[in-house]
Amino acid sequence: MKKTLTTLACALVSSWAFAQNQLTISTSSENVIIDKHIYGHFAEHLGRCIYDGIYVGEKNTKIPNQKGIRNDLVDALKKLKIPNLRWPGGCFADTYHWKDGIGPKGKRPSMVNTWWGGVTEDNSFGTHDFLDLCERLGAEPYLAGNVGSGTVQELTEWVQYVNFEGKSPMSNLRQENGRAKPWNVKYWGVGNEAWGCGGNMKPEYYANEYRKYATFMPDGNGAKLFRIASGANSADYNWTEVLMRDIPHELLAGVALHHYSVTNWQKKGPSTEFDEKQYFGTMKQALFMEELVQKHSAIMDKYDPKKKIALVVDEWGGWYEVEPGTNPGFLYQQNTIRDAMIAGVTLNIFHNHADRIRMANLAQVVNVLQSVILTKGEKMILTPTYHVMEMYNVHQDATLLPVQLKSNDYAFESDKLKAVSASASKDKSGLTHVSLVNIDPKKEQDITVDLKGMNLKTVSGRVLSSGKLQDYNTFENPNKIHPVTFNGASLSGNQLKVKLPPASVVVLELK
């Protein structure tokens, strides 16, 4: 009898543990849209991102290209449905003088990239090259203006150069350089990291500088500029408070936020040879994005209750030590299943706060930090992060479906995190998509999903996972990690049951 009671107790405990993972998805009358611009990317003049990444030059290369921009990279980014691309930085933006990057390439002055590696650049990739790239991608350009070492006139003239259609000194100069019609750039960053590499400013000082610069950035061709203020470093809530209080809201469309999943800035740890302790710490920092978004949004709500101003997370991702033997200033790192976990949980957070977060930029697009693409000569590989963003792009411009999630814990030593992350949406064709992440590297997670009378009939999906957290794609084995068909979901009436593998990302489609 005692043995029978013990067995029954174990069964009840097992049943209780199973019931912990419960997800409820419901419709909403608020019709919050997951803005496609949450899926933006970032291309800085840093390491091999621009030169030897995006841009291989027009001469002396066997790599197929159009005006020096490699074709395979463009094709891959198109498949991501990349909505916007931020350039030229980053810290580089506040040392960049745009006029050095226009006109005949052979006559452009060189410069030293003092922020990243101390290399000399010839300015062969400039405004025309970047904006033409954005046109090829079908992406909106997001230009970061130089406030740190530049002038109001310099930024004003840049706006006029790329946006003014009538006769003016700058539009005439643009036409002389081969571009008749303006590009009509909407998104503009007024400086970058003004609290640090952008000038080591105090928030009150930067707010005044922003007011001055933004005042002289003219709207053009009937379109209003989307001006974005250099926002807080992670949990610096006072920075957001001062900007929202001191900047006139008619000059302000977005406030930025930067947060990287770094456990120790002095010793970031390796990108591939990490242990579970380092993994757990990285995921703790990635999930800290939830608290950051909530607290920064609460400050913005106080000054902007109608949520007219966007929270723009225009730098996010994992940051580790560089690959052995590479330039420390180039920030080249590999991309593992850990990075897929970062991407999945972060995008879920952005979705669930889409009422305030309407733009974000993963750092960075190629060969730098948490890249979606890595290149080596003629070879190119897609990273696990690329595959997550491709799987997730079904959420772009879809209607957010609110979720309530009760999750098991992923425990390590004396600490614990929620094992499961989720978000859901309904697209314009009526398809419902659910994104699920299990960050626990050892345990499957069984999830019961209540669909709240949504009357769905079929479920299909894809999964991204691998044997180890440390697995990654190489130039010798570029398809080691890629999405495959997911068969771990079953639908019965209004209840969906899902079995998530350890350390996996799943996207389900229901109709």
Q: Which residues are identified as catalytic? A: 193, 315
Tell me the three state secondary structure of residue 477: coil
- Which structure tokens are listed for 430? 């009526």
Classified as helix, coil or strand, 152 is helix
- 10 Å CB burial of residue 476 (0-12, 13-18, 19+) is exposed
For 128-186, where are the E strands, in sequence order? 140-145
CB within 8 A of 81, min separation 6: which ones? Answer: 36, 39, 393, 396
Q: Where are the beta strands (DSSP E) in 197-334?
A: 226-233, 254-261, 310-318
- Name residue 480's amino acid: K
**Rounded distance between C-alpha atoms, residue 104 and residue 55, angstroms:** 17
Q: Which residues contact 205 (CB under 8 A, 6 or more apart)?
A: none
Distances from the Cα of 290 to the Cαs of 147, 348, 447, in angstroms? 30, 10, 21
Residue with tokens 């030897």: 52
The distance of Cα 23 from the centroid of its chain, to the nearest Å, equals 25
* DSSP string over 216-238: TS--BTTB--EEEEEEEETT-HH
List the strands of the sheet with 504-510, edge to edge. Answer: 399-401, 420-426, 432-438, 504-510, 459-464, 484-485
For residue 362, what are the CA distances in angstroms to 53, 219, 343, 441, 444? 16, 27, 9, 24, 28
Question: Measuring CA to CA, which residue among 352, 380, 377 is closest to residue 366?
Answer: 380
Q: Which pair of tokens denotes residue 132?
A: 């033409």
